[in-house]
A and B are shown apart, each in its own frame.
Chain A
């Protein structure tokens, strides 16, 4: 288990470096949310989901829906690290006709499952996918990452009711609760707490974890579905801009346009993290 966690932490560190690489190319991007959900997305693509470059068209593949499409740098970083597309494409982020625009596009980048970006769409699409897969007797699971500010979109609650009504055990929702949105604290902007109780009362099986703690994330994924006949919801407490010291926990870094030596610091910090975790992995393996 220690080996498994250490490896995933190293993959997440490499993915964080990929995020910074995209910002190096474009000089802007939704940093905060990409970094907060990145450990979850890494664990899904590297440890949990049946996905990969060879399974892009496989009807049995698991589906990942990034409902909070603006966190797409996390998904691109992980897909590239997983070998689903060539890492050189990361350097086109923000560019003209790029395969990796500021919100994911399934026709530009094979492997993306839905064109998200407008908030409050992903869970309904995922519900339809999970229903169709389940009714066809397929084993595939559907995994959604939603933002915390996104909870205010009423359409999510339509889908939350439907997913529970249909009893979709093959549907898993992570709410990336970094607690901050553009205008400030989520609780101040539009309070949806207690989120876990809301989902529980909607008929979901619920857990609350530290979403930046890889061991907790993996343990949670191993426990899915939490209850047969119910969709699973994980309130993942995370840190906005996790891994970039000067930006952690700051709403101002929701969308980052690096100034001064910020970019250099971010490169150094993410590369240091890789070296540190490579050493850890070496020790664990030895």
Chain B
């Protein structure tokens, strides 16, 4: 139900577990991380398909590749930096270069592990995973899209990186709304500026668009559940029709969605692009809401930045 708050990890674990009841090739890889990823019930029910590797992300990535080589579909979920940075060469070679059907899920992504500090933040995961040829990068925006993304990634062949968060998030989309990998959602139409966002920060962007509307700025909002590949068609159309693009992501403003959009538009429709994200620094720690505000990712800050950009 729209507006209902749900735990993204539980939604994810439940979605994959349900699909795995039908698709017996799915195996879940844990690095002492499976229970926290929503797989406790699955582990009890299917011990033969639950591979506990201990705290071993490099080894587990290689093991996942090997399992995929013999026909399994491994889903490996752990804290985001440990399944993207720690194991990067295994991701690049064993999954990317070897084109293996492994789904890597970084949970507690962005700085949702806010108080645990920079070792547990992942603000470069889009940047590094999207540079591995053949890897699809997903970042669902609400609980409904988490379930849709799980289904879609398990229906496609090939390596996927999906980022989910940690705190409860509101339902934004209807259960039966369409979802496809590589396709954006037109959440709100408008002609003055387009705001492209990915991940759970989309909830703040939707509120920001309402604040902007009150000030007479008609913002188009496009939500991107897929970071890579970009929905180029929708982005190009938005650039042509609104002339201004803002990107919003809980990621470094460099290297991620904003950079990808700027790269694409600079060669196709070179409009001004404003990238809202975290500056390239080791983010500070504290309550999540405080970090969101500090880095300008709350609705009011987003609205303020967009308004300034529109009046430039």
Seen from chain A, the residues whose Cβ lies within 8 Å of a Cβ on chain B are 59, 63, 106-107, 113-115, 117-118, 121, 123-133, 135-136, 154-155, 158-159, 161-162, 165
A128 touches B63 (CB 8 A): yes
Closest residue on chain B to residue A107 by CB atoms: B99
Q: How far is the CA of A113 from the CA of B64 in the complex (A)?
A: 14
Is A121's CB under 8 angstroms from B56's CB? no
- Residues in A neighbouring B53, C-beta threshold 8 A: 162
User: Which of A106, A121, A130 lies at the interface centre, i.e. has the most chain B CB atoms within 10 A of its CB?
Assistant: A121
- In whole angstroms, what is the CA distance A84 to B67 when docked? 24
Looking at B60, B66, B68, B94, the one whose CB has the most chain A CB atoms below 10 A away is B66
Q: How far is the CB of B29 from chain A (nearest CB, A)?
A: 9
Q: A124, A125, A132, A155: which contacts B72 (Cβ < 8 A)? A: A132
Contacts A59-B70, A115-B97, A125-B62 known; 5 new A-B pairs at CB < 8 A: A124-B59, A124-B62, A126-B66, A132-B69, A154-B58
Query: Is B93 located at the chain interface by the 8 A CB criterion?
Result: yes
Chain B nearest Cβ from A159, distance in angstroms:
5
Q: Which B residues are within 8 Å of any A CB, using their own CB? A: 27, 48, 51, 53-54, 56, 58-72, 74, 89-90, 93-94, 97-99
Question: When the two chains form their complex, are residues A131 and B98 in contact, meaning their CB atoms are under 8 A apart?
Answer: no
Point out the residues of chain A lying under 8 angstroms from B48, CB to CB. Answer: 135
Q: What 9 pairs between A and B have smallest CB-CB spacing?
A: A128-B66, A124-B62, A158-B59, A128-B63, A132-B70, A129-B66, A125-B66, A128-B67, A132-B67
> Do A124 and B69 contact each other (CB < 8 Å), given the known contacts A115-B98, A118-B89, A162-B63?
no
Measured CB to CB, the nearest residue on chain A to B56 is A158
B99 touches A159 (CB 8 A): no
Once A115-B98, A158-B56 are accepted as A-B contacts, the answer to whether A124 and B61 lie under 8 Å apart by CB is yes
Q: Are A158 and B69 in contact (CB under 8 A)?
A: no
Give the docked Cα–Cα distance between A128 and B69 (Å).
8
Q: How far is the CB of A263 from chain B (nearest CB, A)?
A: 32
A127 & B93 in contact (Cβ 8 Å cutoff): no
Given contacts A106-B98, A114-B69, A114-B98, contact A159 B63 (CB under 8 A): yes
Whether B70 and A155, one on each chain, are in contact in the complex, defined by CB atoms closer than 8 angstroms, is: no
Q: Are A129 and B69 in contact (CB under 8 A)?
A: yes
Name which residue of chain A comes closest to B98, CB basis.
A115
Nearest residue, chain A, Cβ from B99: A107
With A132-B70, A158-B58: A124-B63 Cβ-Cβ less than 8 Å: yes
CB neighbours of B54 from chain A (8 A): 161-162, 165
CA distance A127 to B125 in the complex (A): 27
C-alpha gap A4/B101 in the complex (Å) = 41
Q: Please name the residue on chain A nearest to B68 by beta carbon.
A: A128
Q: Name the residue in B56, B61, B68, B69 with the highest tally of chain A Cβ atoms < 10 Å from its Cβ.
A: B69
- Bound together, the chains give a CA A135 to CA B66 distance in angstroms of 13
Report the nearest B residue to A142, measured CB to CB: B66
The CA of A125 and the CA of B68, in the complex, are separated in Å by: 9
A121→B94 contact, CB < 8 A:
yes
> With A and B bound together, what is the CA distance between A129 and B69 in angstroms?
7
When the two chains form their complex, are residues A124 and B93 in contact, meaning their CB atoms are under 8 A apart?
no
- Complex: how many Å from CA A154 to CA B62? 13
Given that A118-B93, A132-B70, A132-B72 are known contacts, is A127 also in contact with B63, CB under 8 Å in the complex?
yes
B62 with A113: CB separation less than 8 A:
no
B62 touches A132 (CB 8 A): no
Known: A106-B98, A114-B98, A115-B98. A131 touches B67 (CB 8 A): yes
What's the nearest-Cβ distance from chain A to residue B67, in Å? 4
Contacts A/B (CB < 8 Å), 22 sampled = A59-B71, A107-B99, A114-B69, A115-B97, A118-B89, A121-B89, A124-B62, A125-B62, A125-B63, A125-B94, A127-B63, A128-B74, A129-B69, A131-B66, A132-B27, A132-B70, A159-B59, A159-B62, A159-B63, A161-B59, A162-B53, A162-B54
Complex alpha-carbon distance, A123 and B59, angstroms: 9
B93–A132 contact, CB under 8 A? no
B90–A133 CB distance below 8 A: no
B62 engages A121 (CB within 8 Å): yes
A132 vs B54: C-alpha distance in the bound complex, in angstroms? 18
In the assembled complex, the CB of A189 is this many whole angstroms from the nearest CB of chain B, namely 21
A132 to B72, CA, bound (A): 7
Chain A residues with CB under 8 Å of B56's CB are: 158, 161-162
Q: A59-B71, A155-B59 are in contact. Are A128 and B90 (CB under 8 A)?
A: no
Least Cβ–Cβ distance between B24 and chain A, in angstroms: 11
Contact of A128 among B58, B65, B97, B99 (CB under 8 A): B65
8 Å CB contact of B71 from A132, A154, A158 = A132
